[in-house]
Every structure is written in structure tokens, then in C-alpha cells.
């Protein structure tokens, strides 16, 4: 085998320019695949990170039926106990309790409907980036009836820091309207339209009092130690916390549009790979056939002196293998370099909505081992398969016809 690889290497070097151009063409195909995978992976990572990290969390636990009805009475079953268990669970990094209800918020000049959240500021800091999104004032400082709203809502209501607003919500235990006065203690600019214009945040204890929940709450937001757990339906987490009266959902269920976008992305990569494979196949075959026709006489001589059919084929496949390795090296280097260059500043699509999520950060390439072993390996195997056609042609070559002139 070593002899044939040596022969293949030298044959590839016979026409350096052609070999380089063929390797470059195939390599650029691989580089494009690596780059596409890295960028789309980066975009997905950014979207998932934004969706889960900004406020939602990687998973949520609710009382069964709450998400459909938003009934204030449907608080998480055994919420405080469950929260303690979650915080002790080895799969879970952080957990934050929340109370929530539809509400009206009114200022002296305007009013609007909002989703009212009662939060534990300390627990929330670990799960969401709300505190960091507060650009003016404080994030639910202790004591007092403080409320944090988004910049757009503040503009709609015509309020500033320290101004008073009235929040009205349906309380648990009958749905009586409860009303309380709050003071705007923080204004945030998260970049998410929904959060900046349609949400209001108060302390959990204050929300429990307003809504008559006692020490109960409606939602537990969870971050895992490994985000993959959120997609792993086989994880014991779901059975443990999602059985009975409560339901546990990971981000793919909470934001199905994002899960669909991920599937679409995987299909996009597959499609890209399929198109590039076609181009690679034609490129490799063209190069091998050019090389074969150019050396037809030589192949005839080799056949004449007793080279068997399979050895003739082996020569062609070996040349394809060497070309594939050269192409892979070029492709990996080019793909990596492109990712590094784009990664310096990222692709800035901040503010653009995709799959219902507002992109908040520039898209940066995601490096995965798969890009540098699976794709090149697939290219190698694919090249060998493609080379079988010219290999069979060489193997079936009639020596006299190949040599054109006879002995």
C-alpha cells in the first residue's frame, strides 16, 4: 500500500497546478461547509442564549394548565418544596421562582396591559440577565413598592424614575381585582421588544401579596449545568419534575419556533453539504479522468506488464485519496481562517427578529470538533467512493487500446 501511496503522491505532483486548483476547489467546498456550520451554529447559539439567558431560562416548571389559562390560582404544586429539591439537584445550576399575571399598568397620563412578573432578585440574577438590562435606576431594590419597566413602556406611560404607577391584576382565590401603587425604580433596555414594552417586574414577595398567593408562585425558571439537558428528553429531570400536577418544559417546547429553526438549520447544513458534495464529486472525477486520459499510454503499459485490474483501480483510488487529504488540509485551514476573521467582530444582526427571538449579540462562529474531523472524513470517504468510477474505467482498460500504438 505504501508503494501505491508514494506513486499517488508523485502522480499528483506531476501537474502541480492542476492538483493545486483541484484541491483548492474541493478545499473551498469543505471550507464553505465548515464556515456555514460555524456561522449557523453561532446564530443558533446566540438565539438560544438570548431566548434562555435573557429571561426565560433553559426550562420552566408550571402547574399543569397554567400556561394555557394564566389562572392565578394555578400555582406550582408544592412550589417551595420543589424549589428546594431543584436547587439540590445535580443536573440543575440555578432555579428562580416567579409569580405572574396579566395586569393593567397606569400612570397619570396613560395606561396599558402588561405581563406582571414577581421576581426574587437574587435568584433571578443567576437565571436571567434582567438586572444587567436595567440601564437606569436599580433592579428591584429591597423594600418599598418598586417596579422595573422597559424603556418603551416608560415612554408609553410617560413616566420616569421615581414616578408612580398603579398596577391592577386579578388575584387568586376568586379573581377579585387587586390594585397597588408602585414607584418606578428601574428602567431597562433589554433589546427585546416584548420585554421592553409589555412587561413589568416587581419583587416576588410583593406579587405574592398582591395576587394573594401566600408563599406560592406560578413558575420556576431553571438553568442546567449542561444546556443539552434541556433538549434531552431521556433525562430523568423531566419525569421527576414534570409528572403529576406540574409540568416541566425545556426551551424547545417553550419556544417551538426556535426548535423548528434548529431543525431547519440542520436541514440547511445537510442541503449545503449535498450541493457541495455534488460539486466535489464532479471536480474530483474531472481531475481523475483528466489525469487518466493524459496518462492513457502509461496505464496501457502498466496493464501490459501485468498490473491486475484491482491494482489499476487501486492506483486511481490512491490518487483520489491523496488529493482528498490535500483538499481537506486546504479546506480546514481556509475554513478555520475564515471563521477566525469573521469571529473578530462577528456578523452584526442585533435587533433583527428570527424565529420570534430578537438577536441581541453579533453572530460569532461556533467551533465544533465535528467540523474538523467529521466533514473532512466524510469528504475523504466520499472522494474514495467518487473515485470508484474512474477506477473501474482504469481497471477495465484494454492495454492495446490504451497504448494506441502497439508493442
The residues that touch other proteins, with contacts defined as CB under 8 A, are 3, 7, 10-11, 13-14, 297-298, 301-309, 311, 396, 398-400, 406-407
Closest approach of Cβ 301 to other proteins, in Å? 4
Q: Which is nearer to other proteins, 68 or 406 (CB)?
A: 406
Closest approach of Cβ 307 to other proteins, in Å? 6
Q: Which is nearer to other proteins, 297 or 373 (CB)?
A: 297
What's the rounded Cα separation, in Å, for the pair 29 and 52?
A: 34
Q: Which is nearer to other proteins, 298 or 353 (CB)?
A: 298
Q: Which is nearer to other proteins, 77 or 295 (CB)?
A: 295
Closest approach of Cβ 292 to other proteins, in Å? 15
Can you tell me whether residue 225 is helix, strand or coil? Answer: coil
Closest approach of Cβ 285 to other proteins, in Å? 22
Return the C-alpha torsion angle 132, 135, 139, 144, nearest 10: 180
Q: Which among 120, 107, 131, 167 has a CA at the least distance from the CA of 54?
A: 131
Closest approach of Cβ 397 to other proteins, in Å? 9
Q: Which is nearer to other proteins, 29 or 300 (CB)?
A: 300
Closest approach of Cβ 300 to other proteins, in Å? 9
Closest approach of Cβ 306 to other proteins, in Å? 2
Closest approach of Cβ 262 to other proteins, in Å? 49
Q: Which is nearer to other proteins, 10 or 228 (CB)?
A: 10
Please, which residues have CB within 8 angstroms of residue 117's CB and are 6 or more apart in sequence?
A: 98, 99, 100, 199, 200, 201, 202, 207
- H-state helical runs in 243-308: 251-254, 256-294, 296-304
Please, which residues have CB within 8 angstroms of residue 169's CB and are 6 or more apart in sequence?
A: 72, 101, 102, 103, 104, 116, 177, 178, 210, 211
Q: Which is nearer to other proteins, 308 or 377 (CB)?
A: 308
Closest approach of Cβ 23 to other proteins, in Å? 18
Closest approach of Cβ 309 to other proteins, in Å? 6
Q: Which among 212, 141, 228 has a CA at the least distance from the CA of 177?
A: 212
Break the chain down into helix, strand, coil percent, rounded to 5: 55, 20, 25
What's the rounded Cα separation, in Å, for the pair 210 and 213?
A: 8
What's the rounded Cα separation, in Å, for the pair 257 and 276?
A: 28
Q: Which is nearer to other proteins, 3 or 344 (CB)?
A: 3
Q: Which is nearer to other proteins, 3 or 143 (CB)?
A: 3
The three three-digit cell numbers of residue 160, written as one number: 420616569
What's the rounded Cα separation, in Å, for the pair 73 and 71?
A: 5
The three three-digit cell numbers of residue 196, written as one number: 421592553
Q: Which among 57, 125, 84, 120 has a CA at the least distance from the CA of 241?
A: 84
Can you tell me whether residue 117 is helix, strand or coil? Answer: strand
Q: Which helix (H) or strand (E) holds 168?
A: strand 164-170
First to last CA, the chain: 29
Q: Which is nearer to other proteins, 75 or 307 (CB)?
A: 307
Q: State the pairing for strand pair 92-106/111-119.
A: antiparallel
Amino acid at each position: 500500500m505504501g508503494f501505491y501511496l508514494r506513486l499517488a503522491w508523485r502522480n499528483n505532483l506531476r501537474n502541480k497546478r492542476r492538483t493545486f486548483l483541484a484541491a483548492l476547489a474541493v478545499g473551498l467546498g469543505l471550507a464553505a461547509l465548515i464556515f456555514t456550520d460555524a456561522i449557523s451554529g453561532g446564530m443558533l447559539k446566540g438565539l438560544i442564549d438570548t431566548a434562555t439567558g435573557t429571561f426565560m431560562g433553559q426550562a420552566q416548571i408550571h402547574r399543569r394548565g397554567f400556561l394555557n389559562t394564566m389562572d392565578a390560582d394555578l400555582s406550582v404544586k408544592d412550589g417551595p418544596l420543589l424549589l428546594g429539591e431543584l436547587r439540590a439537584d445535580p443536573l440543575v445550576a440555578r432555579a428562580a421562582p416567579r409569580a405572574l399575571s396579566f395586569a393593567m399598568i397606569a400612570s397619570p397620563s396613560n395606561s396599558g396591559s402588561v405581563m406582571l412578573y414577581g421576581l426574587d432578585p437574587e435568584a433571578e440574577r443567576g437565571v436571567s440577565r434582567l438586572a444587567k438590562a436595567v440601564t437606569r435606576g436599580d433592579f428591584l431594590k429591597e423594600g418599598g413598592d418598586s417596579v422595573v419597566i422597559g424603556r418603551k413602556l416608560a415612554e408609553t406611560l410617560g413616566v420616569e424614575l421615581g414616578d408612580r404607577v398603579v398596577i391592577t391584576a386579578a388575584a387568586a382565590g376568586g379573581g377579585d381585582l387587586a390594585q397597588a401603587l408602585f414607584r418606578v425604580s428601574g428602567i431597562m433596555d433589554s433589546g427585546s421588544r416584548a420585554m421592553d414594552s409589555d412587561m413589568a417586574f416587581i419583587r416576588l414577595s410583593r406579587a405574592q401579596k398582591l395576587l394573594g398567593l401566600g408563599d406560592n408562585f406560578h413558575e420556576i425558571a431553571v438553568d442546567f449545568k449542561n444546556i443539552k439537558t434541556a433538549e434531552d428528553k431521556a433525562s430523568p429531570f423531566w419525569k421527576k419534575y414534570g409528572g403529576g400536577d406540574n409540568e416541566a418544559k425545556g426551551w424547545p417546547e417553550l419556544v417551538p419556533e426556535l426548535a423548528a429553526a434548529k431543525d431547519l438549520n440542520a436541514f440547511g447544513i445537510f442541503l449545503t453539504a449535498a450541493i457541495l458534495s455534488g460539486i466535489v464529486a464532479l471536480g474530483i472525477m474531472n481531475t481523475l479522468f483528466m489525469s487518466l486520459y493524459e496518462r492513457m499510454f502509461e496505464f496501457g503499459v502498466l496493464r501490459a506488464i501485468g498490473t491486475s485490474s484491482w491494482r489499476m483501480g487501486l492506483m486511481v483510488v490512491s490518487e483520489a485519496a491523496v488529493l482528498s487529504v490535500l483538499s481537506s488540509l486546504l479546506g480546514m485551514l481556509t475554513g478555520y481562517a475564515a471563521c477566525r476573521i469573521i469571529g473578530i467582530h462577528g456578523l452584526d444582526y442585533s435587533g433583527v427578529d428570527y424565529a420570534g427571538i430578537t438577536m441581541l449579540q453579533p453572530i460569532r462562529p461556533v467551533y465544533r470538533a465535528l467540523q474538523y474531523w467529521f466533514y473532512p472524513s466524510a469528504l475523504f470517504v466520499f472522494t474514495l467512493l467518487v473515485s470508484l468510477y474512474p477506477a473501474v474505467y482504469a481497471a477495465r482498460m484494454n492495454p492495446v487500446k490504451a497504448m494506441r500504438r502497439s508493442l
